[in-house]
Structure 1
Amino acid sequence: MFTLWLRRAAAYILRIVLPASLLSQLIGTLLFGKSSPGGAAETWIGCASLLVAGVISALSTRNGQSWAHQLLRLQVLDQESGAPISALRMGLRELAHLADFASLCIGFLWPLWDSQRQTFADKIVSTVVVSVDRPQ
């Protein structure tokens, strides 16, 4: 259980957090000459970078797996049918992760004790994340 959660967290860091962080630093450096311009500019750059990382993650989805899910042998499935989700649904799921953040990140920890191992985002879009034995 905890191992699956760690892999899910690592996949999120690899596909969203790290790219968004690097992109925001690049944009800040190009526009303001420093990686952290501060104030409203930094907030807007950070939000835009998260959005871009989420879109890229969604567009890279094949068979319910982004590149990070493939790397860590995870797959996102529809909760009812068990079928892999589409890129559009992955994008909606990435957007729904705002609920995980809005709950002071408790939503990201929720799979540790939830019977379906779902984050709040998973509950919103009716998905589950499973471990796969081999890359899909």
Structure 2
Amino acid sequence: MSDQYPTTPQPGEPGGYTPPPASDFTPPPASDPYAAPPGAYPPPPAPSMGSYPPAPTGGAAGGLAEWPARALGGVIDYIVPGIVFSIITQVLANFSTTLSGAVSFLLNVGLYVYLGLLVGKYGVTPGKAIAKIKVVSEETGDVIGVGPGIARQFAHIIDSLICLVGWLFPLWDAKKQTLADKILKTVAINNSADPEAGVIRWS
């Protein structure tokens, strides 16, 4: 009787276990659960902060106001009061030219302040209400406030300095702005779609 125990055959020996050949299988990469499915369109980029859509053009409701409408508003706001002021100062001139000049100055300054206040608060003066146009900020589309409104009104003096050329700028300017509009960054828009477009606010 032999004292040796039987040995287990080693791999490769007769009767031994031969392991299967290594597989060439490569697992697919892990998918991103947030990735868009194949063929899907990418989402549109988010709008940048502080950006505004370009101002509309043309005479349609909500677009930039055309020059004839602005001219109509100007006639009502300036020419009509100017005729009244002229009558008053002519009467006063019969008594004192100094008094007449002082009253004329105060009346015109008062008119400019008053119109500027209305533009700042509402974007609309009596003339603009009748013409159905409104003055707004070209950056925000909102009314500009009392201070800038009065400043814009006095900036119209610049429009009058060179033979009234500044008042004619809307005829060829891309944004239909006067020089005062450019200084205060305002635009006049067609306000006819507003139900209150023809309402005249006096204060």
Q: TM-score, normalised by structure 1?
A: 0.80
In structure 2, C-alpha distance between the alignment counterparts of 1:130 and 1:124, rounded to whole Å: 17
In structure 2, C-alpha distance between the alignment counterparts of 1:20 and 1:71, rounded to whole Å: 18
Match of 1:88 in 2: 147
Match of 1:21 among 71, 74, 83: 83
CA separation of 1:13/1:45 partners in 2, compared to 1, >3 Å: closer, same or farther?
farther
SS in 1 for 2:147: helix
- One-letter identity of the residue aligned with 1:57: L
Match of 1:9 in 2: 71
State the Cα distance separating 1:45 from its structure 2 match. Answer: 4.9
Higher helix share: 1
Q: Is the 8 A contact 1:24 1:45 kept in 2?
A: no
State the Cα distance separating 1:46 from its structure 2 match. Answer: 4.3
Q: Which runs of 5+ in 2 are unaligned?
A: 1-57, 60-64, 198-203
In structure 1, C-alpha distance between the alignment counterparts of 2:106 and 2:86, rounded to whole Å: 8
Q: How many residues align?
A: 132
State the Cα distance separating 1:55 from its structure 2 match. Answer: 1.7
Match of 2:93 in 1: 32
Match of 2:168 among 109, 115, 118: 109
Q: TM-score, normalised by structure 2?
A: 0.56
Q: Which runs of 5+ in 1 are unaligned?
A: none
What's the % identity of the aligned pairs?
A: 23
Q: Is the 8 A contact 1:16 1:54 kept in 2?
A: no
In structure 2, C-alpha distance between the alignment counterparts of 1:59 and 1:24, rounded to whole Å: 23
State the Cα distance separating 1:17 from its structure 2 match. Answer: 2.5
* 1:54-81 CA distance string (max 9 Å, x none): 1221233442111221221111011111
CA separation of 1:100/1:65 partners in 2, compared to 1, >3 Å: closer, same or farther?
same
Match of 2:30 in 1: none
CA separation of 1:24/1:82 partners in 2, compared to 1, >3 Å: closer, same or farther?
same
If you compute each CA radius of gyration, which structure gives the higher value, 1 or 2?
Answer: 2
Measured on the aligned residues, the alpha-carbon RMSD in Å equals 2.6
